[in-house]
Amino acid sequence: DIQMTQSPSSLSASVGDRVTITCRASQSISTYLNWYQQKPGKAPNLLIYAASSLQSGVPSRFSGSGSGTDFTLTISSLQPEDFATYYCQQTYITPITFGQGTRLEIK
Amino acid sequence: QLQLQESGPGLVKPSETLSLTCTVSSGSISSTSYYWGWIRQPPGKGLEWIGSVYYSGSTYYNPSLKSRVTISVDTSKNQFSLKLNSVTAADTAVYYCARQDFQYASGTYLRGGWFDPWGQGILVTVSS
């Protein structure tokens, strides 16, 4: 199975900050990498697909980059509603696997 | 706007079978462009893909659960279902269904795509 490792596991930041979350795959996955946001008690919500494509309706302050084994999710200017847990996911090959999550908290 | 809704018992006894159904509305489960997936999340933990099904009945399962899982589809009802047998407390989780975009299905593996949208999730507790 392809292992997905996110860093950091948790992060404290302030409104207006620029934040970057990293996801590393245990082998090359090209750009078969997606990012989800999950708020407490809610289902995950797709933010970025195919490493860098912004899902319709997602604010442009979210962006993704990377290919191969190393990927990043960047939030350019944190808003109060962005405090949540973020997951990366590889769909290069089944079994589909997720990162362990990055919890973004208010400083 | 496509919507998915999970349904089924919220409490299952150990060693019994967990059975859930996902009903798709405002869209057809028979679309050739999508698989339909099940994902679970134990309380306070991360996400685990369980498996996915095509409208034709073709399935892909997580090897970690494959021996206990069956996912099926009923196109007449626009539903797909999950059965997980011989459950233990470790199977306690919120279970989500989701539409799965995909790029390529080889028969051996599935490649590409993402999950969107998701159902709201259903908490299933395994306890006597």
Over its C-alpha atoms, chain A yields an Rg (Å, rounded) of: 13
Interchain proximity A101–B96, CB inside 8 Å: no
Residue B22 scores a pLDDT above 90 = yes
Q: Which of B46, B102, B115 sits opposite A100 (nearest CB)?
A: B46
Choose from B58, B116, B123 for mutation: most chain A CBs within 10 A: B116
Closest CA to A43 of B99, B101, B26: B99
CA nearest A95 in B: which residue? B62
Residue B126 scores a pLDDT above 90 = yes
Per-residue confidence at A100, pLDDT binned at 50, 70, 90?
very high
CA angle A9, B40, B45 (to 5 degrees): 30
Residue B107 scores a pLDDT above 90 = no
B103/B105 Cα distance (integer angstroms): 7
Q: In the prediction, which pLDDT does A71 show?
A: 98
Query: Which residues of chain B lie closer than 8 angstroms to A42, CB-CB?
Result: 120
A37/A28 Cα distance (integer angstroms): 23
Chain A to chain B, count of Cβ pairs less than 8 Å apart? 68
Percent of chain B with pLDDT over 90: 96
CA nearest B120 in A: which residue? A43
Q: In the prediction, which pLDDT does A107 show?
A: 87
Instruction: Give the contacts of B15 (CB within 8 A, at least 6 positions apart).
Output: B86, B87, B88
* Range A100-107 average pLDDT: 95
Residue A57 scores a pLDDT above 90 = yes
Is residue B55 within 8 Å of residue B29, measured between CB atoms? Answer: yes
Mean pLDDT taken over chain B: 97
Interchain proximity B47–A43, CB inside 8 Å: no
Q: In the prediction, which pLDDT does A23 show?
A: 98
Q: What's the per-residue H, E or C state across chain B? A: CCEEEEECCCEECCCCCEEEEEEEECCCCCCCCEEEEEEEECCCCCCEEEEEECCCCCEEECCCCCCCEEEEEECCCCEEEEEECCCCHHHCEEEEEEEEECCEECCCCEECCCEEEECCCEEEEECC
* A7-53 pLDDT, tens digit each: 999 999 999 999 999 999 999 999 999 999 999 999 999 999 999 99
Q: Would you list which residues of chain B are within 8 Å, Cβ to Cβ, of chain A?
A: 37, 46-49, 52, 60, 62-64, 96, 98, 101-102, 109-121
